[in-house]
Each structure stands twice: as C-alpha cells, then as structure tokens.
Amino acid sequence: MSRLVRLSGIKSLDQFRSSPGSSSGAANAKMLSSSSLAPSDSFPYGSFANLTLTAEKLLKEQVSARNDLELANSKLKKMTEQIHVLEEKLQNAFNENAKLKVKQKEDEKLWEGLESKFSSTKTLCDQLTETLQLLNVQVQHDFAAEKDKAFFEDKLSATSVALDKLHEHMKSMSLRLDSSEETIKTRETELMELGLAKEKMESCFRNEQNRTAHVIEEKGSTVRLFIHFLLIEADVTIKQLEEDVAANKVAMESLTSKMEKLHFEMRVKEDDMQQLSIFKEKLENENKDLLSSKNDFANRLEMALKEIKKLEDFVNILVLKFTELESQSLTFSEKVMQLSSLFDSCLSLAQQERDLVSKNAKQKFDQIHNQCTCVISEKNALQLVNHELNNKVLELQKEQEFAMVQHAEECRLAEEKIRKLESEAETLVSKQTEMQALIVKLEDELRISSENSTLSDKKMQNLLLKLSDLENESKGLIDGLKADVLKKQDEIDFLHKEVKKSEENVDSLEKRVVELENALEEKAQLAMELKTREKQLEDQKAEIMASVAETESKLEEAKKQHDHMLESKHLELSKHLKEISQKNDQAINDIRRKYEVEKQEILNFEKEKADKVIQGKEKEYDQKIEEYKEESRQHLLQVQEEHAALINNIQQQHANKETSLISKHTEELKLAQLQAETELREKTKLLRSEHEAQLRDLRCEHEDECRRLQEELDMQKAKEERQRALLQLQWKVMGDNPQEDQEVNSKKNYSISSTKMRNKDGSKRIQHALDRTEVEEKDSPYLKATETPVSNLLKKVENVNTLPKHSRKVTHHEYEIETSNGRTITKRRKTKSTVMFGGVKGGARPNPSNIGDLFTEGSLNPYADDPYAFD
C-alpha cells in the first residue's frame, strides 16, 4: 500500500517538476539546483540571499560607475572642445602675429623709403635755398634776375605742389597706419570671439585677404603714380630750366612775394616731420605693446599647456578608473559565470536525483512485479499441488483398498501419528499467533512509512515553494544582467559613433589646414611678386636719383644765392616750429591718453561680454544637465515602476499556477490514494477469500482423511481381533499349552519389537516430513507473504498416508525377547511367528464354520509360503 502511494506521489512530483521547467525555460532549470543541493535542507538559504545582496551591490556600483563615467565623458568632451578652441585660437594668433610681423616689416620698409624721400626733399630744399640766394645776388646785380625769380617761383610752386603731394601721401600712410591699428583692435576682438563663431573667422580671414590685396594694390598704384609724377616733373623742370634761364631776372620780383609762402610751407613741413617722428614713437610703443601681448599670449599658451597636462592627467586617472571598472565588470562576469556553472552543476545533480529516484522506483516496481509473479507462480504451484494431492488421494484410496494390514502395531503407529499431528497443529496455531503479531508489526511499520511519506510530501512542497522563489529571483537577476549588457552595448555604440564623429572632425580640420597651407603658399607667392616689384621700383628710383642729381647740380647755384635770404627767416621758423612742436606734444599726449582709456574700456567691455556669454552658456549647460538628470530620474522611476508591476504580475501568475498545480496535485494524490486503497482492499479481500477457501478445503480434506484413518484403524482393530481369535483357535487346536505360552510370549515380544521398529521407522518418517515442511516453508515466498500452515499439514498428511505399493505380503523372521535381566535379544525363529496378511479384494471374508476351514485359508496355512516351516 505504502509503496504504491509512494510511486504515485513520485510520478506526480516528477510531472509537477517537468511542467514548470518546460514553461519557464533554461533560467528556471538553473534554479532547480537549490533543491538538488538542499534536498534535506542541508544547503543554507542565507548563502543565496548573500549572493543576491552582492549582486545588487555590484549593480549599484556599476550604475554609480556608469554615472561617473558619463560625467567624466561629458567633462572630457567639454575639455576637448575647449582645447580644440584654444588650439584654434593659438593657431590664429600665431598666424595673425606672423601677418603683423610681415606688415611691420613692410611698414618699416615704407618708412625707410619715406625717410629717404624726406632726406632727398631736404637736399632739394637746401639746393633751392642756395639757388634763391644766388638769385638774390643776381637780382642785386641786374634787373634780369626778375625773370629768373619768376621762373624760380614757378619752380618753387612746382616743388611746393610736389611737397603737398608728399604730405598727402604721408597722410594716407598715417591713415593706413590708423587703419592697421584698427585692424589690430578688430583682430583682438576677433580673437576673443573666435571660440564662439568659426564661420566669422573664415569670413574675417577672407576679408583680410581682400583688404591686404587691396592695400598692396593701392600701395603699388600710389608708388607708381608718385614715380610717374616725379619723372614728369623732372622732365618739365629740365625743359623749363632750359627755356626759362633767360626769364629769371623778370621772375625775381615774384619770388620775393612767394618766399614768405615758402617759409610758411617749410614750417608746415617741419611740423609734419615732428608729427611723423611722434608717429614713429607711437609705432615703437605699439610694437612694444605687441611684444608684451606676445608675451601674454606665450604665458597663456603655457597656462593652456599646463591645463592640457592637467587634463591629460585627469584623463589618465579616468582611464585607470575605467580599467578598474572594467576589471570589476570582468570579476562580476566571472562571478556570474561561476553562478551559472553552479546552476548547471545543480541542474546536473537534480537530474541525477531524478534518475536515481526513477531507478529506485523502477527497482521497487520490478521487485513488486517479481513478487507478484512469484505469488502467481506459487498460486499455480499450489493449485498443481492440490491437483496432485487430489490425484494422490485418489490413488491412496485405490491403494488402501488393496493394502493389507500386516500387524496390529500399525494402529499404534497411526495413533502416535495422530498425536504428533495434534502437536503439530498446536505448533501451527502458535505459529499463526506469531504470524498475526508479525502482521500487526508490519501494519505499524506501514503506518510509520505512510506518515514518513506524508512528511516527505510536505517537504517536497516546501522545496517546490523555495524553488519557485529562487526561480523568480534568478529571473530578476538575469533580466537585470541583460539590461546592463544592453546598456553597455548602447554605450559602446555611442562611443563608437562619437569616435567616428571625432575622426570626421579631424578629417575636416585637416582639410582646412591644407586649405590654409595653400593660402599661405599663395601669400608667399604674392610676397615674392611684391619683392620683384620693389626691385623694379628701386631701379626706377636709381634712375630718378641720377636725374635728380643733375637737377641738384643746376640748383646749387640758386641755393647759394637764396641762403642768405633764408637764414634770417629760418630763425623765425625754428621758433615757430618749437611752439608748434610743444602744442603737438600736448595734443599727442592727450590723444595717447584717450587712446589708452578707449582701449581699456573696449577691453573691459569685451571681457564683460565674454564673461556674460560664458556665464550664460554655463547656466544653459547646467539647466540642460539638470533637465537631463530629471529626465533620467523620471525614466528610471518609470522603468522601476514597470519592473515592479511586471514582477508583481509574474508573482501573481506564478502563485495562481502554483495554487492550481498544488490543487491538481492534491486531487491526483487523493484519487491515487483512494484507487490504491480500493485496489488493496479488493486484493486483500480476494486473498483473504482465497485463503479462507483454501483453509476450508484443507480442513475438509484433513477431516475426511482423519475420518478415513479412523475407519481404517477401526477396520485394522477388527481384523486384529479376528486374527487373534483365529490364532487362539489354532493354538487351542494345536493343544500345546507350553507352546501356546511361548507363542503368546513371542507374540507379545514380537508385538513389542514390531512396535519399537515401527516407532523408529515412523519417527524417522515424521522427522523427514517435518524437515521437508520446514524447507518448503523457508523456500516458498507465498508462505512468507501469508505464512499459513496449510501446505505443511498437506505434506504431513501425505507423508503419513504414503504406503509402499509392493507391501501386500510381509514376513517377519526376526523378533526380540526380553530376558530376566531386562535385556532384549533378537532371535530368528522358523515360521511359527510369521503372520501373512492378504489384500482384501472383495470386502471382508466370511467367518469359517469349521476348524478345518481355518487351516484351509491362505493366511493360516503354514505351507502356503514356507513349506519347510516345521522342518
């Protein structure tokens, strides 16, 4: 009963295990390891809780590390962008410094040319003064000098016109210098605004190229016009000198009126010279400022390099942290792999347990089946034995009809056998009581085993609940790990995209650098062309100087005459020039102060603008970061809520499934138990009915056999009495009293000896029968199951009733005699003591009517079997 219940419970448990395993997949199969590791609650549940806590801690650390990495990546991106901006600013500053250096060199060259021109003009003025002095001398000598004065006045007017043109050229150069200063200021503002707009820089660069080209073209055009004008003037002067030498005397009167104008113009020129010197000083100061700005830029570059180094150190630290995080992630992955390996080992152990359980169940089922087959075979054997016994009984009946009772001692043997059978029946009754006690013990053991099976079922249910909890936890861990892996993959993809973008930016920057290099090459080519043009201009200048030398030789004579006139006026002009220079110095100082104040104001204004822009951008970035953080928090909250909702739904579904499965399982167990109980009851009833029927049959047979044995005994007693009566009649007929006494004694001895011999034979047969019954009881499995003494009784009855078929006539020649000493002596005597028993064939013989008839019967005829009996 308990075995069948256990088998049904094991099968239902296997079905219960296989059903969640097929639905939940490999993840649920892994978590069955807890049941295999702790079938008897040997594996502590706290270790798995510690593992879950460590896994959660690792997940939190990974989340914090990811946040740190994201912040670090954002900072790195910002710093790299700032570094790129600073590098671009530095490159632009270097380029602009190079341009300014080139412009300074060009301006210096222009100033050197202008200084050479001023020196040449001074020489011309000196020559003119000398000519004027000569003309004055000539006027004193002759009135013809008036024409020369007019001529020289014309010359002076031409020279004044030329000087005015030179002054205009100087003014244009000063304007250009002012424009260059303005460009420097604009460049500084552009340096401050380069980080905000790269496209403006490109447009400014193009505008600057156009401006430089325009300036170069203007310079070339002005120089060409000046040279052309000088050449034209030189030709005109030469022609006029050749034509108007005769008219100098007439022009002397006009020269006196125009000398004052010349003196005034000379004063203006000296003022211009002072202004030019002041402008030179300004340029030098500006050069110094540019050098200081260069130093400032160099310091800024050093600071930027230091910041870059700090950033590189910070990047290295971040890389180390990232490597540490990678190592931690590797350790975490290794731990996860270990957990998976443990889950796999637990799975294998669970499968081994299932296999062992199935093997044990199969073995038990095979044992039960073998026992059933043995019981069936024993039933068949018992049926065969019953048929054989029936056949033997029939044969015995037939044999007993033909058997002959030899001696009266066999009755005693039968009585002893009955007594032994009664004693054996008592032993069988005691055995039955022992068997009933064993049955009670077995029933108690069955109850204990049923209780153990119920306890094991409860333990299995608890283990299944634990398994379900562990499966849910494993699902959560696996889902979290999968989400982490997906996030990592997304981050890796995002980093790859950023790397691609940076590579594209590098390629675009390289292309721009190539374009800038091409522009620089074009500028270098333009500079080479300008140098060639300057060489050509220098050649033209040399030619002009040669022509000017010829004119100077002609004008020396006029200067000598005009020197005396100019000395007196020169002092006045010097005084006037000193006053003008003082005024100019004051004005220049005021202009410088105003210029510095405006510079400082502009710088402060631009700094404030830059600070405001930076603060505004920082605020915008902070707002964006806060918005992103809030969005990420909201997203995390949504994800957590969804995850919690999913977990709750899964738990509810799992709980519903568990309840449904548990209810189904309990119903199946109840049905199986009821079926098993009904089957067992039916089987027990059938076995009891069969056993009772067999017992009844055996009792009936045993009673019939006892009746037959009693009838046989009665028959044998009647035959013995008849034989005794016949013997007594024979001895009476014989008439020998002493012989009669001897015969009686011999008969007694013979009866005693025969009873002893038969008792020995019977005891041997009974002992042999008992041994056979004990062996058969030990060998028969049916007697172990039922333990009934019916087969022993049948076998004992069979041993008792078996008689030899050939024992129709038995002769006894030996007999024992008791002496007076108490000893028994065996003697052989001739046929007086022999008794022959013939088989009864036609029923009981009729009593003889005569004494002679007694001798005619074969049983009392001494010569029937032994003719030499009385020899």
Helix, strand, coil content of the chain in percent (nearest 5)? 90, 0, 10
For residue 712, which amino acid is it?
A: E
Cβ–Cβ contacts within 10 Å for residue 544, how many?
Answer: 16
Contacts of 691 (CB under 8 A, 6+ apart): 786, 788
pLDDT of residue 320: 83
Alpha helices in 195-247 (DSSP H): 198-243
Determine contact, residues 113/217, Cβ cutoff 8 Å.
no
pLDDT of residue 694: 85
For residue 635, which amino acid is it?
A: H
Angle at 520 between CA 515 and CA 525, to 5 degrees: 125
Mean pLDDT (10-residue bins), the chain, 871 residues: 44 43 40 39 53 74 75 73 73 74 74 69 67 64 59 67 68 67 68 64 62 61 59 63 62 64 72 74 76 76 78 77 76 75 76 77 76 76 77 72 64 70 72 72 69 68 70 68 69 70 70 71 72 72 69 67 67 72 75 76 80 79 78 80 82 84 84 85 86 87 88 90 88 63 45 44 46 45 41 43 41 49 52 42 43 45 49 42
The partner residues of 827 in beta bridges, in order of sequence, read 815
Rounded Cα distance between 772 and 793, Å, is: 11
Rounded Cα distance between 682 and 679, Å, is: 5
Among 106, 111, 96, which Cα is nearest to 215's? 106
Q: Is 193 helix (H, G, I), strand (E, B) or coil?
A: helix
Residue corresponding to tokens 């005691």: 430
> CB-hemisphere CA count at 13 Å for 762?
22
Rounded Cα distance between 295 and 298, Å, is: 5
Conformational region of residue 836, where left means phi above 0, alpha means psi within -120 to 50, and beta covers everything else:
beta
pLDDT of residue 197: 59
Among 561, 555, 551, which Cα is nearest to 138's? 561
Contacts of 351 (CB under 8 A, 6+ apart): none
Rounded Cα distance between 596 and 236, Å, is: 48
Q: What kind and span of H or E run contains 826?
A: strand 824-828
Rounded Cα distance between 19 and 32, Å, is: 13
Q: Is 809 helix (H, G, I), strand (E, B) or coil?
A: coil
Contacts of 79 (CB under 8 A, 6+ apart): 311, 314
Conformational region of residue 25, where left means phi above 0, alpha means psi within -120 to 50, and beta covers everything else:
left
> CB-hemisphere CA count at 13 Å for 529?
10
Q: What kind and span of H or E run contains 610?
A: helix 409-734
Residue corresponding to tokens 């049916």: 782
> CB-hemisphere CA count at 13 Å for 379?
11
pLDDT of residue 312: 76
Rounded Cα distance between 732 and 720, Å, is: 18
pLDDT of residue 302: 80
For residue 661, which amino acid is it?
A: L
Tokens of 355: 């296999």
Q: What kind and span of H or E run contains 828?
A: strand 824-828
Q: State the maximum Cα–Cα separation within the chain, in Å, rounded to a whole number.
A: 248
Q: Is 815 helix (H, G, I), strand (E, B) or coil?
A: strand
Cβ–Cβ contacts within 10 Å for residue 836, how many?
Answer: 20
pLDDT of residue 253: 66
For residue 560, which amino acid is it?
A: K
Rounded Cα distance between 658 and 20, Å, is: 9
Determine contact, residues 255/153, Cβ cutoff 8 Å.
yes
Determine contact, residues 104/529, Cβ cutoff 8 Å.
no
Q: Is 39 helix (H, G, I), strand (E, B) or coil?
A: coil
Contacts of 817 (CB under 8 A, 6+ apart): 745, 746, 749, 824, 825, 826, 827
Rounded Cα distance between 569 and 263, Å, is: 7
- The CA-atom distances, in angstroms, between 315 and each of 69, 327, 791 are 11, 18, 100
Determine contact, residues 471/28, Cβ cutoff 8 Å.
yes
pLDDT of residue 103: 73
Cβ–Cβ contacts within 10 Å for residue 531, how many?
Answer: 10
pLDDT of residue 810: 41
Tokens of 829: 């005597």
The partner residues of 147 in beta bridges, in order of sequence, read 249
